[in-house]
């Protein structure tokens, strides 16, 4: 099969017809990805507007590229050879439509950065890019595209939240400049139903979802919420779900004095919860977060603080609650619940959430990354979470799940009728008010 007789599978037609400079292909095993990538590279070399085009197919390792793509590249270009391919350098020189002009196709590995420096490229394919070092792309390969405004095509199969996932997210969030082509086996019809059924029976569900259904979430072992976040994306519950200006937004926080502090904002609406705000910072005094609450561009409903917010700080001599009360904000405390019960509550609530992606994207990624500790000795996950950069956002969401009001099944006058309390009608524990009230307040009795 040469490029003149190449007939792309229907699923790859959008790839060849794209106008975007950047493209990301997430494909299931045996979808025909390698042939399509090689053909696209040859087409790019033939259609390049510049003289002496240069394109490259790169895998994580040179031998991998040679084994996977080299034969395809030779077959596709054979009628166009100026001379026989250079087997030692994995280089093919072909003639183009311009008289006296030629194009060069390289096949190599991203592991040899030295061989890539000094090249100019009009297009590059990075296959199984998740196994490459990000610095190779940003510091070595990306500059080769600059002077001729070359294009790049990133491809692979999910393998946890690695560099490939980051590039996929870049493509998903920038549809005007990127093409994102996602090809799960259940939609491509490349493999028979019988074959998929047999593969699923022989593999773990996690492995099947990763290799055939291209799930990045299934490939995150030990994650608490990754699968549920993936379901929310697939069901359209993550996107432009804007808050209702007439409905109050409740806020909940996981607060610390020096560690990261995370906030979630949500509206309770018929059928679920509209998650419409997320904020995180660290190294800030409590006053910073009080000002953040006061600066919200919406009607703030109930402000919830963790149950340990009553403890007084050695630095200030005041509790977090006292500082909020002094500032005129009367919060409520999240009642104590075991970690496991809180996680289960969060799992239930997540299935009823609609996320405004633009305002809570960082929070979503923290929920994806929240996972259990790994025990090196037993090679198993412990029944407690790993404390890392995702912990505070996940803890704050767990508090949200604990305090979230029951979802109304219907509303006769729309979302605006939900949550109409004013600040003065907050519920609060009487002992907390008496113990932590402002200095000029009077106790009763």
DSSP 345-364: HHHHHHTTEEEEHHHHHHHH
Whole-number pLDDT of residue 97: 87
Helix axes 339-350, 391-403, angle to 10 degrees: 80
Which run of H or E residues covers position 180?
strand 178-183
**pLDDT by residue (tens digit) across 31-81?**
999 999 999 999 999 999 999 999 999 999 999 999 999 999 999 999 999
- Kindly tell me if the per-residue pLDDT of 412 is higher than 70: no
Q: How many helices (H) and strands (E) does the chain have?
A: 18, 16
Topology (CATH level 3) of domain 10-210: Rossmann fold (3.40.50)
Phi, psi of 180 (to 5 degrees): -115, 120
- Per-residue confidence (pLDDT) for residue 380, from 0 to 100: 80
In the structure, what pLDDT confidence band is assigned to residue 408 with cuts at 50, 70 and 90? confident
Measuring CA to CA, which residue among 337, 128, 338, 371 is closest to residue 229?
Answer: 371
Residue 435 is predicted with a pLDDT of 46
Q: Select the CATH number that applies to the domain covering 238-436 from these four: 3.30.420.280, 3.40.50.720, 3.40.50.300, 3.40.50.2000.
A: 3.30.420.280
Mean of pLDDT values over 300-305: 96
Strands of 353-356's sheet in order across: 238-239, 353-356, 272-281, 261-269, 249-254, 300-305, 332-333
pLDDT at position 219 is 64
Numbered ranges of CATH 3.40.50.300 in the chain = 10-210
- Which burial class, exposed, middle or buried, applies to 235 when counting CB atoms under 10 A from its CB (0-12, 13-18, 19+)? exposed
Average pLDDT on 237-241 reads 95
pLDDT at 315: 60
| 33-47, 198-212, 407-421: segment of lowest average pLDDT | 407-421
Q: 426: pLDDT confidence band, cut at 50, 70 and 90?
A: very low
Q: Which of 35, 340, 76, 59 is nearest to 190 (CA)?
A: 35
Q: What is the pLDDT of residue 439?
A: 44
Q: Which helix (H) or strand (E) holds 280?
A: strand 272-281
Assign 442 to helix, strand or coil: coil
**Residue 440: per-residue pLDDT:** 42
The per-residue pLDDT of the chain, averaged, comes to 88
Annotate 108-124 with b (16+ C-beta within 10 A) or e (fewer). bbbbeeeebeebebbbb
Q: Which of 68-72, 85-89, 102-106, 204-208 has the lowest mean pLDDT?
A: 204-208
Task: Say if residues 181 and 167 touch (Cβ distance below 8 Å).
Answer: no
* Per-residue pLDDT tens digits for 2-21: 899 999 999 999 999 999 99
Per-residue pLDDT band at 415 (split at 50, 70, 90): very low
Q: What is the pLDDT of residue 276?
A: 97
Kindly report the length of the chain: 445
In angstroms, rounded to a whole number, what is the distance separating the alpha carbons of residues 232 and 137? 31
Q: What is the pLDDT of residue 410?
A: 54
- Under the banding of pLDDT at 50, 70 and 90, the label for residue 131 is confident
Give the mean pLDDT of 85-108.
95
151 torsion bin: left (phi>0), alpha (psi -120 to 50), beta (else): beta
Tokens, residue 83: 């001379």
Asked if residue 373 has pLDDT above 80, the reply is yes
User: Residues 162-178: what's their mean pLDDT?
Assistant: 94
What's residue 31's pLDDT? 96
pLDDT at 431 over 70: no
Confidence check: pLDDT of 357 > 90: yes
pLDDT value at residue 173: 93
DSSP 205-235: HHHHHHHTS--TTTT-TTBSSHHHHHHHHHT
CA distance 199 to 28: 13
What is the model's pLDDT at position 375? 80
Structure letter (DSSP) for residue 69: I
Per-residue model confidence (pLDDT) at position 317: 67
**pLDDT on residue 255:** 85
The answer to whether residue 437 scores a pLDDT higher than 80 is: no
Please state the pTM of the whole predicted model. 0.66
Q: Give residue 432's pLDDT.
A: 43
In Å, what is the CA distance from 98 to each residue of 48, 103, 142? 11, 10, 27
Higher pLDDT: 203 or 425? It is: 203
Q: Which two tokens stand for residue 391?
A: 């912990």
Q: Above 50 in pLDDT, residue 289?
A: yes
- How far apart CA 338 and CA 251 sit, in angstroms, is 21
CATH 3.30.420.280 positions along the chain are 238-436
């Amino acid at each position: 099969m040469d490029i003149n007789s190449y007939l792309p599978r229907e699923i790859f037609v959008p790839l060849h017809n794209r106008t975007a400079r950047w493209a990301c292909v997430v494909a299931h095993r045996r979808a025909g990805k390698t042939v399509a990538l090689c053909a696209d590279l040859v087409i790019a070399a033939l259609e390049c507007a510049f003289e002496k085009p240069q394109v490259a197919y790169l895998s994580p390792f040179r031998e991998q590229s040679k084994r996977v793509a080299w034969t395809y590249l030779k077959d596709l270009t054979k009628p166009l050879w100026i001379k026989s391919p250079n087997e030692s350098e994995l280089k093919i020189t072909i003639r183009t439509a311009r008289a006296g002009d030629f194009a060069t196709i390289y096949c190599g590995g991203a592991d040899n950065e030295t061989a890539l420096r000094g090249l100019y490229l009009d297009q590059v394919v990075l296959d199984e890019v998740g196994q490459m070092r990000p610095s190779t792309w940003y510091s070595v390969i990306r500059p080769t595209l600059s002077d001729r405004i070359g294009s790049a095509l990133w491809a692979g199969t999910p393998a946890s939240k690695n560099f490939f996932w980051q590039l996929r997210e870049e493509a998903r969030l920038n549809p005007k400049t990127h093409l994102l082509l996602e090809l799960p086996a259940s939609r491509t019809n490349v493999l028979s139903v019988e074959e998929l059924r047999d593969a699923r029976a022989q593999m773990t569900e996690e492995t099947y979802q990763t290799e055939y259904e291209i799930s990045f979430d299934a490939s995150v072992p030990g994650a608490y919420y990754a699968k549920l976040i993936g379901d929310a994306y697939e069901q359209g519950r993550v996107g432009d779900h804007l808050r209702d200006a007439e409905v109050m937004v409740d806020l909940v926080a996981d607060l610390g004095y020096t560690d990261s502090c995370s906030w979630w904002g949500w509206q309770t609406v018929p059928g679920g919860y509209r998650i419409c705000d997320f904020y995180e910072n660290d190294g800030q005094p409590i006053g910073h977060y009080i000002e953040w609450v006061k600066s919200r561009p919406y009607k703030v409903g109930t402000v919830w603080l963790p149950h340990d917010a009553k403890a007084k700080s050695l630095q200030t001599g005041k509790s977090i609650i006292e500082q909020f009360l002094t500032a005129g904000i009367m919060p409520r405390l999240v009642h104590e619940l075991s970690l496991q019960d809180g996680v289960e509550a969060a799992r239930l609530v997540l299935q009823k959430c609609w996320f405004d992606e633009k305002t809570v994207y960082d929070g979503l990624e923290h929920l994806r990354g929240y996972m259990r500790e790994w025990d090196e000795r037993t090679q198993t996950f412990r029944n407690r979470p790993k404390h890392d950069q995702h912990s505070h956002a996940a803890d704050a969401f767990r508090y949200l799940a604990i305090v979230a009001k029951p979802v109304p099944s219907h509303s006769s006058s729309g979302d605006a009728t939900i949550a109409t309390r004013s600040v003065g009608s907050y519920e609060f524990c009487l002992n907390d008010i008496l113990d932590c009230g402002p200095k000029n307040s009077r106790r009763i009795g």
